[in-house]
Each structure stands twice: as structure tokens, then as C-alpha cells.
Amino acid sequence: MEIVILRTPADVARTAADAIEQQVLSGPSVLGLATGSTPLGTYRELIQRHRNGGLSFAGAQAFLLDEYVGLPGTHPQSYHSVIRREFVDSVDFPAGTVHGLDGVAEDLDAEAARYEAAIAASGGVDIQILGIGSDGHVGFNEPMSSLASRTRIKTLTQQTRQDNARFFTDHAAVPDHVLTQGLGTILEARHLLLLAMGEAKAGAVAAAVEGPVAALCPASALQLHPHVTVLVDEAAASMLAHRAYYQDTFGRKPAWQGL
Ligand code: PGA
């Protein structure tokens, strides 16, 4: 795991955009997209590079991490809608190449299996953007999710429903259930980019990075992956015990190595 502590959320967004740009420029790419507030700055940065610098997603396709059960793709808070509004509609992915889960599928198990097969058929995700929940979830893998889990239905914790209530009229309007890529699915992406900003994420980041690998903190499963980059601002890094070590090693890293 490489921990990169950056001064501000804008620095996190720029650095994440650099990693995604590098992947896209390297050839046909499969991107793993996350929703929530965390990656919005990264998407804005990529949109700007598309508009001003010609960065093109014409050779890319993408898979979303998760979706609310019960919200049709047309609902403004469905992740299908959110990703279109915040990113996809402003760049040039070819039509039909940004894939998500159908939260109103009649057979949710079959939908999960279809999605797993679609990711596999694409050749797998090259770079996966991840946020982290204040309870340590990645995707919507809540505490005690199997570290080997695959795409499936999950029940949101009340903490997550509270955290996400800001996107809805009130807490009660937040769906109880979601479809999410499993931890085992996420761990198959070739490069994981975990982003976290702000003090509210500091405890979860410390548990994920420096705590034991444990289902109690699903993001700690990332410790099992060979290529993880954790991009955090100073507030999100504030509870890390080994901050000085991460800063020292990143500062002396050979430039050619990249992220
Ligand atoms: P946030 O959510 O980006 O809205 O903070 C992160 C997450 O729940 O994974």
C-alpha cells in the first residue's frame, strides 16, 4: 500500500486525475468509477482536461461500483444518474460503455451475476476509484462483509444511511438495500485508488491502512492487494500513526516510478 498525503482536497483530485489520465493514455482502458462526494473533484478535473487538453475517453469503458436497490436509473439519486450528471455526460465515452447495476431488476441475484460476468468479459478493471465510508465500507460493503464477497445485495448500516441522507429529502428516503461489487470483486481490479478527504474519514482511513485486516473494517481488505494507492488530504491522514514515514518515502520515490 502506498500512502500519499497531500495538502488539500484539490491536490487529491489532481493526483487522482493524473493516475486516471495516465491509464487512459496508455491504451484501451476499463475504469472503475465510484459515486458519493469523494470523487467529484477528480471528475471535475478530468472534465476540464477533456475540454481544455483533449483528454479523450473514446477508448475507455467503465463499471460503477454499486447502486441503490429500488431506484430506477432515471431517479436523480440513482448512481446511473449521478455518474452521468457528474462525469460521463461531460466527456466522450462511446455510447453504452459505462455500465452499472440495475437496482430495479426483478431478480437481483441474477443481476449481480450478470454484472460479474460483464466485468470479466471486459478483461477486468484497470484502475478502480474508491471512496471510504465513515464505517470503513468500500463500495457498499458494510462491516462484516466477507473479504471474498462478490457482487450481491447488501443492507446499509444506519450510519451509512445517515451519511447519505444529505442526497435525499430525509433519512427515511435513503434506500435500505443496495447492489454492490464485493470485496473479492474489487480486489481483482489491477490498481486500486482509494481517496479520502476531511476529518470525518480520518478514523476509517487509519483503521483501513494501519489496523488489522478484518471484516469489521472492509477497506482493510485492500491490504491484501498488490497495487493500492491511498490519496488522502492532511485532515483524512490526521489519525495515521506513521504519517512521517509515508511522507518521507513518497518524497524520495523515484519520479519514473509513478503511482
Ligand atoms: P462519500 O462516500 O464520498 O460521499 O463520503 C464515500 C463512500 O460511502 O464510499
CB 204, CB 217: distance < 8 Å: yes
Reading the block at residue 103, the C-alpha cell is: 437496482
C-alpha cell recorded at residue 55: 483528454
36-72 pLDDT, tens digit per residue, is 999 999 999 999 999 998 999 999 999 999 999 999 9
Q: How far apart are the first and last CA of the chain?
A: 11
Place of cell 461500483: 65
Second CATH level (architecture) for the domain 2-253: 3-Layer(aba) Sandwich (3.40)
Q: Give 225-251 as a 3 state SS string.
A: CCCEEEEEECCCCCCCCCHHHHHHHHH
In testing the pocket of ligand 1, which one of 12, 38, 178, 181 has its CB within 8 Å of the most ligand atoms? 38
- Separation of 36 CA from ligand 1 center, angstroms? 5
Q: Is the pLDDT of residue 174 over 90?
A: yes
**Predicted pLDDT of residue 197:** 98
Element (H, E) at 9: helix 9-25
Ligand 1 centroid to residue 252 C-alpha, Å = 31
pLDDT at 231 over 90: yes
At position 213, the amino acid (one-letter code) is V
d(CA 143, CA 181): 14
54 residue type, one letter: G
Q: 124-154, pLDDT tens digit by residue?
A: 999 999 999 999 999 999 999 999 999 999 9
What local confidence, expressed as pLDDT, does residue 53 receive?
Answer: 85
Using the structure block, give the residue that is written with the C-alpha cell 453504452.
96
Q: Which of 132, 145, 201 to mutate to test the pocket of ligand 1 (most atoms within 8 A of CB)?
A: 132
Closest ligand 1 atom, residue 36 Cα? 4
* CB-based pocket (< 6 A), ligand 1: 36-38, 131-133, 137
